Structure 1
Amino acid sequence: MLTGIRLTSLRLRLVVVFALVALTAAVSASGIAYWLNREAVLTRTQDAALDDFRQDMQNRAAALPLRPTQDELQRVAEQMGNGGDGYSVLLIGERAEGKPIVGVSDPDMFTKEDVPQSLQDAVNERQEIGAGNTVPYHLYWQRTERGGKPYLVGGTRIVGGGPTGYMFKSLDQERQDLNSLGWSLGIATLLALVGSALLAQAAATTVLRPVHRLGEAARQLGEGKLDTRLRVSGTDELAELARTFNKTAASLEKKVADMSARDESSRRFVADMSHELRTPLTALTAVTEVLEDEADSLDPMIAPAVNLVVSETRRLYDLVENLMEVTRFDAGTARLVLDTVDVADQVTACIDARAWLDAVELDAERGIMARLDPRRLDVILANLIGNALKHGGSPVRVSVRPLDGELVIEVRDHGPGIPEEVLPHVFDRFYKASASRPRSEGSGLGLSIAMENAHIHGGDITASNSPEGGAVFVLTLPRDGSSIEDCEAVGTGDADASGAAGADGRAVADDSRPQGEEDTL
């Protein structure tokens, strides 16, 4: 009956509880009803039989002579047994002192051996006459079984002298009636159990449907659908819960909208500021290049200041370019420009462009082809290798290997490694491992930009320490980024899409330091 219904744990608990309560109530009610009916049926039957037997003993047996003959005793026993009350009679008298005689209405049905000895003793025991007892003998009865069938045995004797009588009545019909009643009550209990299960299912559905809707709404809210609301009906606890959910969702939507607006405003401000700074920085860069060319002819007192201006101008230029790249990632406008390249050639070109050939050991077989964005791979490698050269120890080893449809590039140095408390933060923006040096040559954005470029490829970067010493950065990228490209609009290669790319398509950098170099370690 419940086939096909998906029973959640709460639904199952409700059904079980309902069923247990119904079963307990039905069994209790059926048990009490059976017991009461059983006692009523048996009491009514035995009272009727015993009253009739007492009346016959008074009317018939008491009329016999004190010393009746066998025939007289037998005739009265048969008259009493054939009275239509359905019991057999056994009369015991004496025709002379010490000479008992017996009269039986049905010898095949009832004999003296069928009378329990305890009942015989009770019937023949003379009671003391007193205020609470006016007669010496009483009527006694007992329920017994013979051949698996129940019987009622009763007995008494005539006060003042006369025969002792016993009656024997079958209770098999009453037992059958009680068995029928028991089966009826059992079927009623089973029906009550099934009915309770159906009611529990209906109740569970009524209760759990709004709970399910609440769960679905919470899931949609967690997925970012902040306009999700529940339909409220009624005034019960579930309706109040729905109202509370709607209020919470509305408050959350408002707060997220406010935060998004502030975040968007901040990103727009950074982007606008970076864009506005590029024009004067371009002019400053041109001037600093001229000053750098003329540095040898400058006054020795002025040359250090000129070198500082040149260095800080370049650092400011790198910072602006990095900020613009970060805002593109935050705004979701960064796009891939995919090409099929030889990875070993790309790594070699990155190292050669920055004059790192003498400081880097390259372990890369030619012929490992991958479809990716060469410019973004160059930015990632420049940051990872430059970070290793600056904060690690030589030699820096770069290894490239294919692995199950992925490209794995490992950059390892031989320095002191990364402190354990710093490892979780190496890819955070502007994070610096030492608070005592908040100002450094790097912008504090290099590794975070590298991570963003890995993510846009569908890859990842991990940082750890080697057991032999030194830091290990592992870049993992899919060898075929076509699936990523299918999900995004391909960039056109303009200034915004290329980020820090120069005219040759590689990251703008001086001869010793990559664009976006990290300085957190």
Structure 2
Amino acid sequence: MRLALPQWAGTLAVKAAVFITVMCCALAALLGILVHVSVTNQTVGQARDRALSRLTDATAAFEAGDPIGRGVGLDPPELPGALRDLARAGDRGTMVADHHGRPTMWAAGPADHERVLAVEVDYSQQARTIEGLDRAILWSSGLAIGVTVLVGAFAVTRVTRRLHATARVARRISGGDLDARVDDPRTNDATRPQDEVAAVAAALDSMASSLQSKLLAEQRFTADVAHELRTPLTGLHAAAELLPPGRPTELVRDRVAALRTLTEDLLEISRLDSGRERSEPDSEPLGALAERVVRASGTETEVVVLRDVVVETDRRRLERVLGNLVANAHKHGRTPVSLTVDGPVVTVRDHGDGYPDYLVAHGPQRFRTEGGAKGHGLGLTIALGQAEVLGARLSFSNAVDGGAVARLTLR
């Protein structure tokens, strides 16, 4: 089971935007750090060279007994302690520190009698230069990231829009609309570059066309077979009626009747498959209609009306649906069988072994039976097809305490 995530977290556009943003930020940070370090090293190096040059001149003047000049002092109290210790140890060095509230480059070296000769150089201009550079890096990085994200989002959205269109067509096809096609512009224009989305769209259109051709061929075959069988069956039925009474005649008539029923069922399925069947709704009291269906079935079926309603439906088609459900319950289930009306919901329940797992999961499939069951699987297929024509929802499940449950929900 997948971890539940917010709806926006699973979209390709958001993932791509996050990826582009992260990569832009990482690249901007890397470039900014490189520029900052390079310019800072260059600026600090120039200031250090200047301070050391002045320190060299001041040291020579001090040793010659000449005036050492402005910005130069012996053991100035503001000199950083670390630099003072370094100079007293006999080495020369530099350090940037605040002096009177402004950044200053200090250079210090040893003088006589463990004294330290120090030079201070104003570092304010260089510090402002580095700060301005950092601000420019931040602003330019933010602008570059924004522009890149917008351009990337635009490009990704174009791709995801085409993917969403392909997904919508796939859902329409799975819902039975075999005329649906993606018709991606790139697949129809050989001069344009073909990308992966165009390849998926072309494959889906090709699959839909192939599937439509096969289903149409199957529907034509079913209809042709049923039509071709009607004429000889009519003659066979008439001939069977002329046979003398007896057990063999009863068997022949029974088989001829079963074959005629199968032929009529095939014709009805072919009409439903064609998608040309239309409902002719009228107002019908659902409780009375259910009782009429049970009486016509000639079976011992209990009718329970919890809440009767008047529905706008096609009476003939609804009777066909309920009649097939009741007949299937008695043929493949066990008594007692009940038909319950609860508002616009009609439930047919038996107490047999229940529906097969494949039927509960995928719905009825023609000419498929399991567990030694008799029949062709056409009754429930017809019931499902007629329910779709009515705009109703027919679902199949098994009761917890055993038995098959068919639930028809009318709109």
Identify whether the pair has TM-score above 0.5, normalized to the shorter chain: yes
TM-aligned CA deviation for residue 279 of structure 1: 3.6
Alpha-carbon spacing, 1:366–1:341, altered in 2? closer, same or farther (3 Å): farther
Deviation at 1:287, TM superposition (A): 4.3
Q: Give the 3 Å change call, closer, same or farther, for CA 164–386 of structure 1 in structure 2.
A: closer
Q: 1:202 to 1:410 in 2, by over 3 A?
A: closer
Letter in 1 for 2:328: N
CA distance in 2, matches of 1:111, 1:433: 103
Asked whether the 8 Å contact 2:334–2:352 carries over to 1, the reply is yes
Deviates more, 1:193-202 or 1:34-43: 193-202
Q: Equivalences for 1:189-200 in 2 at 5 Å?
A: 189-200=137-148
Match of residue 383 from structure 2? 450
TM score, norm. by length of structure 2? 0.79
Counterpart Cα distance in 2 of 1:414 and 1:182? 86
Q: Is 1:54 paired with 2:59?
A: yes
Report the counterpart of residue 272 of structure 2 in structure 1.
Answer: 329
> Alignment length, in residue pairs?
386
Q: What is the aligned partner in structure 2 of residue 98 from structure 1?
A: none
Gaps of 5+ in 1: 1-5, 62-75, 91-109, 124-138, 158-162, 233-237, 296-302, 479-521
Where do 5+ consecutive residues of structure 2 fail to align? 1-11, 174-179
Q: Which has the higher contact order (CA 8 A, sep 6+)?
A: 1
For 2:224, the aligned partner's letter is D
Q: Residue 141 of structure 1 contacts residue 155 of structure 1 at CA under 8 Å; is this kept in 2?
A: no
Do 1:87 and 1:167's aligned partners in 2 also have CA atoms closer than 8 Å?
no
Identity of aligned residues (%): 25
Residue 12 of structure 1 is matched in structure 2 by: 18
Describe the shift of the 1:52–1:193 C-alpha distance in structure 2 as closer, same or farther (beyond 3 A): same
Structure with higher Rg: it is: 1
Please state if 1:376 is matched with 2:317.
yes
In 1, are the aligned partners of 2:365 and 2:381 still within 8 Å (CA)? yes
CA drift at 1:467 = 3.2
Distance in 1, Cα, partners of 2:312 & 2:72: 109
What residue number does 1:465 align with? 398
- Deviation, structure 1 residue 310: 0.6
Identify the structure with the greater helix proportion. Answer: 2
- 2:330 aligns with 389
Instruction: Return the TM-score normalized by structure 1.
Output: 0.64
Confirm or deny: 8 A CA contact 1:142 1:154 kept in the other structure: no
Change in 2 beyond 3 A, CA 1:184/1:7: farther
1:168-183 matches, cutoff 5 A: 168-171=118-121, 173-174=122-123, 176-183=124-131
* Corresponding position: 1:477 with 2:402: no
Q: Secondary structure at the match of 1:364?
A: strand
Partner-residue secondary structure (3-state), 1:334: coil
Aligned partners of 1:447, 1:52: CA distance in 2, in Å? Answer: 107
Post-superposition offset of 1:27: 1.8
Q: Does the aligned pair in 2 maintain the 1:27–1:189 contact within 8 Å?
A: no
Equivalent of residue 338 in structure 1, options 278, 281, 306: 281
Q: Give the 5 Å matches for 1:86-235.
A: 86-88=70-72, 118=85, 122=89, 150=104, 151-157=106-112, 167-171=117-121, 173-174=122-123, 176-201=124-149, 203-205=151-153, 207-208=155-156, 211-212=159-160, 214-216=162-164, 218-219=166-167, 221-222=169-170, 223=172, 225-226=180-181, 228-231=183-186
2:111 counterpart letter in structure 1: T
- CA drift at 1:202: 5.5
Aligned to 2:8: none
Determine if contact 1:217/1:229 at 8 Å carries over to the other structure.
no
Partner amino acid, structure 1, of 2:338: R
Which residue is 1:277 aligned to? 229
Which AA in structure 2 matches 1:261?
S
TM-superposed CA distance for 1:177, in Å, is: 1.8
Segment drifting more, 223-232 vs 266-275: 223-232
